[in-house]
Amino acid sequence: MRIVMIIWIVVSCLAVWPVAAQELEVRYAEQLDWTKDRIVKSVVVPSVEQPQGEVQLIQRRDLLVVQTLLSSRILKRVVAVIDAKESRRWPEEHQGYADSNHYLEELFRATEKSWEAFRQRSDRNQEHQTLAIEFILGPKQSLIALSLPQLREDDGSLRLIGKQPLKIWRGADDYVRANIVEIIKDSFHLDDTATEKLLKPLWPGRKSTSLD
């Protein structure tokens, strides 16, 4: 009887996990719906000469989104650079450290899943691993989302044609907001004033993008 009970518990857990993931995706379906995204500005990163992805500033209805689309033969090295920048921005004594640490843990897990998907790819001519990172700031809540994207190149730019969500969670408003500012400054090589000018019109009802 005890063995039967243990088997029942294991089977029940296996059945619940995918349902929970699906429920999470459904819960945030509106915030994740990219089909009518308006790309305000985009840039190849780290450079046109050594492209590893693209950072896109997006208006998604009443949401402000910074999306990083990575497409690289050396994805783990690219993520290591993100890790280094994130660690410098959010040292352990900083208020956003816990949020940053959570983000990096999930990012490393997503990177491994991207590698697994790459190893199992049916098209052996595909040489790049892919990963999508979204920082989403809305009037009611802020989200961070990691996905496996389907991409196509269009005149030197990356275009999203589909994505498989891996992890979605609510982030602290201040952390998401500050990271959006820092990603835009770093990717587009802008100073504080230029960043403020670019982001402020896209943030209706929100406080200034200034980090002061």
pLDDT in tens, 125-135: 889 999 999 99
Same domain, 68 and 5: no
Residue 13 has pLDDT above 70, yes or no: no
Q: Domain residues for 118?
A: 34-202
User: What was the pLDDT predicted at 140?
Assistant: 86
Same domain flag for 177 and 84: yes
What pLDDT, on a 0 to 100 scale, did the predictor assign at position 16?
38
Tens-place pLDDT, residues 150-209: 999 888 889 999 999 999 999 999 999 999 999 999 999 999 999 999 999 998 565 555
Q: Are residues 59 and 116 both part of a single domain?
A: yes
Same domain, 13 and 110: no
One domain for residues 125 and 74: yes
Calpha distance 206→203 (Å, rounded): 5
Based on the fold, state whether residues 116 and 105 are members of the same structural domain. Answer: yes
Residue 22 binned pLDDT confidence (cut-offs 50, 70, 90): low
- In the chain, how many domains are there? 2
Q: Check whether residue 102 and residue 123 sit in a common domain.
A: yes
The answer to whether residues 3 and 108 belong to one domain is no
In a domain, 107, yes or no: yes
Claim to verify: residue 57 and residue 17 sit in the same structural domain: no
Are residues 26 and 125 both part of a single domain? no
pLDDT value at 2 more than 70? no
Domain assignment present for residue 48? The answer is: yes
Cis preceding linkage at 165, omega within 30: no
Q: Are residues 64 and 78 in the same domain?
A: yes
Q: Please report the pLDDT score of residue 55 as a whole number.
A: 98
Tokens of 67: 């999306």
Give the chain's mean pLDDT. 87
Report the distance separating Cα 157 and Cα 153, nearest Å. 6
Q: Which residue has the higher pLDDT, 204 or 51?
A: 51
Contact 82, 64 (CB under 8 A): no
Q: Which among 42, 39, 64, 74 has a CA at the least distance from the CA of 157?
A: 42
Q: Is the pLDDT of residue 24 over 70?
A: no
